[in-house]
Structure 1
Amino acid sequence: MAAQTKPVLHGYFRSSCSWRVRIAFALKNIEYDQIPVNLVKDGGQQLTDQFKALNPMKQVPAVTIDGITLSQSLAIIQYIDETRPGPRLLPADPKRRAQVRMISDLIASGIQPLQNLYVIQKIEAEKVQWAQHFINRGFEALEPILKQTAGKYCVGDEISMADICLVPQVYNAQRFKVDINQFPTIKQLNQALMELEAFKVSHPSCQPDTPDDLRT
């Protein structure tokens, strides 16, 4: 049998969607190659015809894996979970699996897109207030949900796709000076998750394309 080709992640060090995929790879102990796509340099490398061929939405991430190219981080994470051994990223129990998907979608569809780079660039003068508004709005909904579903992590005591979505969103909240102390469950979960190696090695501060002044 021919050796399996390593997946290739086209992403950006500070993209929360790219970070989700890096966490999933780390949790599954999957080796992969990274091709940086700088969202700012040269007017945005994601806007080139070359990258558009990989992802017509001109967004990161895009992952080449098993002879196909996938975009949309949750689809990528679920594909990885379904095709690779290692800890489950979605619970076996249907109710818990639905809770994981609910939390993941709340973050991935209800919070992150409203404060991503493309949107913020359109409202440059008010970008911090805009981002704070939508992050706070989303966290006000997320906090009571997590109070009900959380154990050690977002849903019970096993790492899931919900945790993979939460940590990058908290990072964004901190970048935009949102007071995380308002959301004690979110804060506690994030602290617990950031103790784990998979979340540390995938952090934006230690990627191949991280600028030197942002490295830790």
Structure 2
Amino acid sequence: MKLYLNKVSSATARVRIALALKGLKVEEELVTIFGDDAASRRPEYRALNPQGLVPALLTDSGWLITQSLAIIDYLDQIAPEPPLLPAEPEQRAFARSVALAIAAEIHALLPPRIGARLRSLPGVGPEEVASWNRHWVSEGLSAVEALIARRRTGRFVVGDRPSIADIVLFPQTVGAARIGLDTAQWPNIAEIAGHCRAIPAFAENAPVSPK
């Protein structure tokens, strides 16, 4: 398999964490995502992935899978151990709902293309974009903290084993700290992130800071 990625990307981090948890090895190809000449904007990559996003996984049979949650679901099916979703239906749904609250409601407002579009509007500069990012991360993680606080019974979002919820949550906490937010304001999230960081699969595949 071949993974198209950028290690700054929290979506990429999700997939790399899942691969590491399952002990799967893939070929990696860097796709630059910043600047007008980024590889993600070029026709060659758009021919492969029309969205121009990372990550994207090319399977052994030649199928391209886009979107990190779809890739993680695929990995969970081809390599079932350790499972990335709880077995109990309500817990499974809750893990998915936390993952989607981050991937679809927080992260969707933060990628480079969103920042680039905002900066193209009159009166919007880097500080306004930074304020936009802090607002949506703060609002989103506050909601996620409330959801977790209602149901948490173990070391992670659902029980004592990392699930897709933790795989999506952990990179977002790294991103929150990167933009100057103190994750201690969300005690459950901060504690879960600490447990995740103690696992090499998480710590070694956290998103890196942009250069």
Q: Same fold (TM over 0.5)?
A: yes
User: What is the Cα deviation at residue 137 of structure 1?
Assistant: 0.8
- Is 1:84 the counterpart of 2:79? The answer is yes
Deviations 1:85-120 (A, max 9, x none): 420001111111000110010000000011111111
- Partners of 2:48 and 2:200 lie apart in 1 by 30
Deviations 1:17-64 (A, max 9, x none): 111000000000001111000112562110111111221111111101
The aligned counterpart of 1:133 is: 135
CA distance in 2, matches of 1:23, 1:138: 22
Aligned-residue offset at 1:121: 1.9
C-alpha deviation, 1:144, in angstroms = 1.1
User: Unaligned 5+ residue runs, structure 1?
Assistant: 1-6
TM-score, normalised with respect to structure 1: 0.89
Instruction: Give the TM-score, by structure 2 length.
Output: 0.91
1:114 counterpart (109, 113, 121): 109
Q: Is the 8 A contact 2:10 2:206 kept in 1?
A: no
Summarize the Cα distance change of 1:42–1:110 in structure 2 as closer, same or farther, 3 Å threshold: closer
* CA 117–41 in structure 1, closer or farther in 2 if over 3 Å, else same: closer
Matches of 2:60 and 2:142 in 1, distance apart?
Answer: 39
- CA RMSD of the aligned region, Å? 1.5
Answering whether residue 197 of structure 2 is matched by residue 194 of structure 1, we say: yes
Moved over 4 A (4+): none
CA distance in structure 2 between the aligned counterparts of 1:172 and 1:201, rounded to whole angstroms: 15
Gaps of 5+ in 2: 120-124
- Residue 32 of structure 2, aligned match among 15, 25, 38: 38
Equivalent residue pairs, number: 202
SS of the residue corresponding to residue 43 of structure 1 reads coil
Q: Displacement, 1:83? A: 1.1
Partner secondary structure for residue 104 of structure 2? helix
What residue is the counterpart of 1:177 in the other structure?
Answer: 180
1:165 aligns with 168
